[in-house]
Amino acid sequence: MNTYQLLDSGNRQKLEQVGPYKIIRPAPQAIWEPFNPSLWNDIDSEFVKEKGEKGSWKPRKNPEGVKRKKLGTGLPENWFVDSPSGLQFKVEPNDYGNIGIFPEHWIYSNELNNLLPKKSKVLNVFTYTGSNCLDLVKSGHLVTVVDSAKTAISGYTFNLGLNKLSRQGQRLVLEDAIKFLDREIRRESKYDCVMIDAPSYGRGTKKEVFDIDESLIKLFQNAKRLAKKDGIVIFTLHSPRYTQAALKQSLEQIFEGKNINIQELMLEAESKSYLTSGTFVQIQ
Ligand SMILES: C[S@@+](CC[C@H](N)C(=O)[O-])C[C@H]1O[C@@H](n2cnc3c(N)ncnc32)[C@H](O)[C@@H]1O
């Protein structure tokens, strides 16, 4: 078993099967009771927040027989999973509870791929390790990725290699997102697709502060400027503050006359329940 599956959620946690490992992570949006309590056993590791967003992985069962490099977490340092489209991704749990993949992007990636004309020029800002764009690279699109973390760009490069995807025509940019977007606008660059998966908070390469509350409208405006007339703009947001109605009203003002499709990114669990994992916006 080398795939990802959300198993269940509840008590503000989510239970996930990530390849051979069963893990628990915080999920503040899961305000209900678990839907299938019988699934919550035989767990390898649980991520527990300790200081702000930082925390540690606690082994939940005797990890005997599990090859572990990171002693004490109940998990190996890294391993691999296959996405639904058959791409391989490296899984690498970190001290913030991230694991190297964001499976909610796999909900829409196939549909987006089919919408884009061949060899589309795609800009993907806040790329991390590329859960939301490796499918596009595989289909031959020319993808520019932007992230301020060396670990993100090296993880992305690793995933390209893992899937034998050529770097030809791809651009990997290690830079502050806001600065890069401003420069691209000055250069009058245009893209068939602009994808922005904004975190709530982040840091640029020179420690510039990124705060979604300050930058969201500017991101919308810059995405509009960088997209071709008939281009597609995709935003994925993870801040619960921005309700669908608020986003719609603001986006209708900025992208006047365009089709704006706003949906929740819902991961279906094995327990047949759903867990919302952010908001998906498609503008065309
Ligand atoms: C939620 S992750 C993006 C997930 C990714 N799109 C995916 O599909 O897996 C947020 C990313 O934003 C990056 N980031 C945070 N602040 C940034 C900034 N000011 N400029 C560029 N990247 C930034 C982080 O390094 C991190 O990789």
Q: How far is the CA of 216 from the centre of ligand 1 (A)?
A: 14
The CATH number assigned to the domain holding 161 equals 3.40.50.150
Residue 63 has pLDDT above 80, yes or no: no
**pLDDT tens for each residue of 143-182:** 999 999 999 999 999 999 999 999 999 999 999 999 999 9
Domain that holds residue 18: 4-91
Average pLDDT, the chain: 94
Tell me if 105 CB under 6 Å of ligand 1.
Answer: yes
pLDDT band at 52 (very low <50, low <70, confident <90, very high): confident
Write the DSSP symbol of residue 235. E
Which position has the token pair 């509840």? 10
**Domain co-membership, 156 together with 75:** no
Residue 68 has pLDDT above 70, yes or no: no
Range list of β-strands (E), the chain? 4-10, 13-18, 21-26, 45-51, 54-59, 79-82, 88-91, 121-125, 142-147, 171-174, 191-198, 201-203, 209-211, 227-237, 260-268, 274-283
**Rounded distance between C-alpha atoms, residue 132 and residue 68, angstroms:** 29
pLDDT at 71 (0 to 100)? 56
The total of structural domains in the chain comes to: 2
pLDDT at 66 (0 to 100)? 54
pTM for the structure as a whole? 0.94
Q: Is residue 98 part of a domain?
A: no
Q: How far is the CA of 55 from the centre of ligand 1 (A)?
A: 19
**Domain co-membership, 205 together with 241:** yes
Average pLDDT, integer, range 59-63: 73
Supply the Cα-derived Rg of the chain in whole angstroms.
Answer: 19
276, β-bridge pairs: 266
Tell me if 4 CB under 6 Å of ligand 1.
Answer: no
